[in-house]
Structure 1
Amino acid sequence: MNSPFTALPGGVYGFVYADDIILVALGKTNPRTRISLQAIVNAVGRSALATGFNMAATKCAISCSTYHPANARPSRLNDTVIPFRKKPVVLGITLDRKLTMIPHFRRLKKDCQSRKRTICAHHLKNNRRAALNVGRSFIHSTIFYEIEMTCRNLDGLSDILGPLYHGAVRLASGLLPSTPAEAACVEAGVLLCRWETARVAFRRALSFLEKTSGDECPFSPPPPTCIKSSHHTQIFTDGSKANDGVRAGISGLRNGLSFRLPLSCSVFSAEAAAIAVGMIKRPTDTPAAIFTDSLSVLRDVASGTSKHPFVQAIETLRDPLVTICLVPGHSGIKGNTDADRLALIGRRARTRLPNETPTIDIIREFNTSVQNGFTNHWRRSRNHTQKIKGSADTWTEQDSQREQKILSRLRVGHTRVTIAHTVSSEPVPECASCNPVEHLLCNCRELEDLRRQYGLTGPIRDILSNDPIRKEALLLFLKDAGLYDRI
Structure 2
Amino acid sequence: MQPIFRVVPNGVEILLYADDILLIVRDRKMEALHRKLQAAVKAADNPNARRSPSRNITIDRVVVPYTNRLRTLGVTLDRTLNFKAHCKMVKEACASRLRVMKAIGAYLPRGKRELTGNTLPTVEQLPRRSNRVWHAPKPSIVWDVKKAVRAGDPPEKVRPIIQNILSSRFHQSSVLYTDGSKCENTVGAGLYRKGLGRMRSLPQHCSVFSAEAFAIRMALTVPNIKDLVILTDSASCLLAIETSKSKHPWIQEIENISRGRSVRFCWIPGHAGIQGNNEADRLANEARSQAVVDIPIPAEDALRAVRSSIRQHWDEQWFASRDPKLREVKFDTYRWKDRDNGADQRVLTRLRIGHTRLTHDFLLNKTPPPRCDCCGVIVDVRHVILRCRKYDDARRMHDTNSTSLGAALGNDADSEKKLLNFRKEANLYKQL
- What is the TM-score when the length of structure 1 is the normalising length? 0.53
Q: Distance in 2 between matches of 1:210 and 1:412?
A: 46
- Matched-pair contact (CA < 8 Å) for 1:258–1:343: yes
Q: Distance in 2 between matches of 1:209 and 1:422?
A: 58
Shift of 1:434: 6.4
Unaligned runs of 5+ in 2: 1-88, 104-113, 148-164
The aligned residue for residue 327 of structure 1 is 268
Between 1:356-365 and 1:269-278, the stretch displaced more is 356-365
Return closer, same or farther for 1:356/1:148 CA change in 2, 3 Å cut-off: closer
Unaligned runs of 5+ in 1: 1-136, 152-196
- Matched-pair contact (CA < 8 Å) for 2:197–2:283: yes
Shift of 1:371: 0.8
Q: Is 1:448 matched with 2:392?
A: yes
The aligned residue for residue 469 of structure 1 is 414
Deviation by residue 1:212-249 (Cα, 9 ceiling, x = unmatched): 34312753533144954122333221111123621112
Counterpart secondary structure, 1:398? coil
Amino acid at match of 2:312: N
Counterpart secondary structure, 1:256? strand
Structure with higher helix content: 1
Counterpart secondary structure, 1:144? helix
Q: Is 1:243 matched with 2:181?
A: no
Counterpart secondary structure, 1:430? coil
Counterpart secondary structure, 2:331? coil
Amino acid at match of 1:141: A
Return closer, same or farther for 1:292/1:397 CA change in 2, 3 Å cut-off: farther
Alignment of 1:379-418 (within 5 A): 379-380=319-320, 381-418=322-359
Counterpart secondary structure, 2:142? coil
Larger Rg computed on CA atoms: 2
Q: Is 1:437 matched with 2:406?
A: no
Deviation by residue 1:18-74 (Cα, 9 ceiling, x = unmatched): xxxxxxxxxxxxxxxxxxxxxxxxxxxxxxxxxxxxxxxxxxxxxxxxxxxxxxxxx
Pick the aligned partner of 2:131 from 199, 207, 215.
215
Alignment of 1:98-247 (within 5 A): 141=93, 144=96, 147=99, 209=125, 212-216=128-132, 218-219=138-139, 221-225=141-145, 228-229=168-169, 230-243=171-184, 245-247=186-188
- What is the TM-score when the length of structure 2 is the normalising length? 0.59
Q: How many matched pairs?
A: 303
Q: Distance in 2 between matches of 1:470 and 1:268?
A: 39
- Matched-pair contact (CA < 8 Å) for 2:329–2:405: yes
Return closer, same or farther for 1:416/1:210 CA change in 2, 3 Å cut-off: farther
Alignment of 1:50-89 (within 5 A): none
Q: Is 1:261 matched with 2:202?
A: yes
Return closer, same or farther for 1:483/1:139 CA change in 2, 3 Å cut-off: farther
- Matched-pair contact (CA < 8 Å) for 1:292–1:326: yes
Q: Is 1:292 matched with 2:235?
A: no
Amino acid at match of 1:367: R
Deviation by residue 1:436-480 (Cα, 9 ceiling, x = unmatched): 222221222211332244143211011112334322322221221
The aligned residue for residue 373 of structure 1 is 313
Return closer, same or farther for 1:258/1:410 CA change in 2, 3 Å cut-off: same
Counterpart secondary structure, 2:180? strand
Amino acid at match of 1:302: E
- Matched-pair contact (CA < 8 Å) for 2:127–2:253: no
Deviation by residue 1:58-111 (Cα, 9 ceiling, x = unmatched): xxxxxxxxxxxxxxxxxxxxxxxxxxxxxxxxxxxxxxxxxxxxxxxxxxxxxx
Between 1:331-340 and 1:270-279, the stretch displaced more is 331-340
The aligned residue for residue 114 of structure 1 is none
The aligned residue for residue 279 of structure 1 is 220
Amino acid at match of 2:384: L
Return closer, same or farther for 1:404/1:330 CA change in 2, 3 Å cut-off: farther
Shift of 1:148: 7.6
Counterpart secondary structure, 2:279? helix
Amino acid at match of 1:378: W
Return closer, same or farther for 1:434/1:377 CA change in 2, 3 Å cut-off: farther
Q: Is 1:458 matched with 2:378?
A: no
Q: Distance in 2 between matches of 1:250 and 1:415?
A: 63
Q: Distance in 1 between matches of 2:220 and 2:124?
A: 28
Shift of 1:383: 4.5
- Matched-pair contact (CA < 8 Å) for 2:123–2:302: no
Residue identity (%): 30
Counterpart secondary structure, 1:357? coil
Return closer, same or farther for 1:411/1:298 CA change in 2, 3 Å cut-off: farther
- Matched-pair contact (CA < 8 Å) for 2:371–2:379: no
Amino acid at match of 2:388: C
- Matched-pair contact (CA < 8 Å) for 1:329–1:336: yes
Counterpart secondary structure, 1:446? helix
Q: Distance in 2 between matches of 1:149 and 1:295?
A: 30
Deviation by residue 1:123-178 (Cα, 9 ceiling, x = unmatched): xxxxxxxxxxxxxx999937837648999xxxxxxxxxxxxxxxxxxxxxxxxxxx
- Matched-pair contact (CA < 8 Å) for 1:213–1:306: no
Amino acid at match of 1:362: A
Q: Distance in 1 between matches of 2:390 and 2:279?
A: 68
Q: CA RMSD in A?
A: 4.0
Shift of 1:282: 6.5
Between 1:234-243 and 1:369-378, the stretch displaced more is 234-243
